[in-house]
């Protein structure tokens, strides 16, 4: 993606929406799960595997994670900022993503969810819901 483009935010949003739609076909997830992750920092039911795999699928499709579960904090934050558009100060977003980057979970779906949960909870703590 061309970072000089004035449409970066729009392009990022379109990439994210496409990935979310595609992943929802394979890993159907109720919107309440996404809303809960954004507002509380976790899913309403953390025992369900499908929503966790949905997170992994989206992260891989947008290029924020490799299939091996290696995360790109800069890329992750370019998408997370879409969910926190009302935040004036986004300077700490990448630091949070980097702090959450060292994951030990062996299940790739659980690792992706725990990574996003760590980011969401730290953002909520720092900036509010």
DSSP label at 71? B
**CA of 120: how far to CAs of 83, 102, 107, in Å?**
10, 15, 20
Is residue 3 situated within a structural domain? no
Tell me the pLDDT band of 113, cut-offs 50, 70 and 90. very high
Is residue 106 situated within a structural domain? yes
Is residue 2 situated within a structural domain? no
Domain enclosing residue 43, as ranges: 8-127
Render pLDDT for 31-69 as a digit per residue (tens, 0 to 9).
999 889 888 999 999 999 999 999 999 999 999 999 888
Angle, vertex CA 1, rays to CA 76 and CA 108, nearest 5: 30
Please provide the distance, in angstroms rounded to a whole number, between the alpha carbons at the two ends of the chain.
29
Is residue 82 situated within a structural domain? yes
Structurally, the chain folds into a number of domains equal to 1
Residue 7 reports pLDDT greater than 60 = no
Residue 101 reports pLDDT greater than 80 = yes
CATH number of the domain that 121 lies in?
1.10.238.20
């Amino acid at each position: 993606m061309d970072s000089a483009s004035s449409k970066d935010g729009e392009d990022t949003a379109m990439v994210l929406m496409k990935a979310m739609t595609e992943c929802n076909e394979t890993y159907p997830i109720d919107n309440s799960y996404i809303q809960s992750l954004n507002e509380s920092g976790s899913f309403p039911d953390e025992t369900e595997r499908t929503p966790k795999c949905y997170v992994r699928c989206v992260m891989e499709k947008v290029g924020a994670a490799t299939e091996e579960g290696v995360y790109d904090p800069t890329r992750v934050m370019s998408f997370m900022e879409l969910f926190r558009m009302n935040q004036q100060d986004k300077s700490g977003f990448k630091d949070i993503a980097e702090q959450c980057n060292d994951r030990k979970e062996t299940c790739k779906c659980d690792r992706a969810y725990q990574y996003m949960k760590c980011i969401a909870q730290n953002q909520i703590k720092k900036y509010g819901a």
